[in-house]
Amino acid sequence: MNEELDFVAGEYVLGTLSGEERARVASEAAIDSALMAAIDAWQRRLAPLISAGPVEVPTRVWARIEAEL
């Protein structure tokens, strides 16, 4: 697989692209089966993280973050 294609697909799935870039990748994926396959692969890889659900952050952790800021 093309490394650049895989990188773009990963960014697309992670949601790190700008709105314009995301729209461009979505349009390209509609006609590029390799890009769509890369996006699907990233979605499968990250699915366990998404289905894990939210985690409650302990108060002491927030206190340490605030102290560092």
Is 8 exposed, middle or buried, given 0-12, 13-18 or 19+ CB atoms closer than 10 A? buried
Q: What is the CATH number of the domain that holds 26?
A: 1.10.10
Q: What percent of the chain has pLDDT over 70?
A: 99
Domain count, the chain: 1
- Domain span holding position 37: 3-68
Range from 4-8, 55-59, 62-66 carrying the lowest mean pLDDT? 55-59
Q: Please say whether the beta carbons of 62 and 68 come within 8 A.
A: no
pLDDT band at 45 (very low <50, low <70, confident <90, very high): very high
- Band the pLDDT of 52: cuts 50, 70, 90: confident
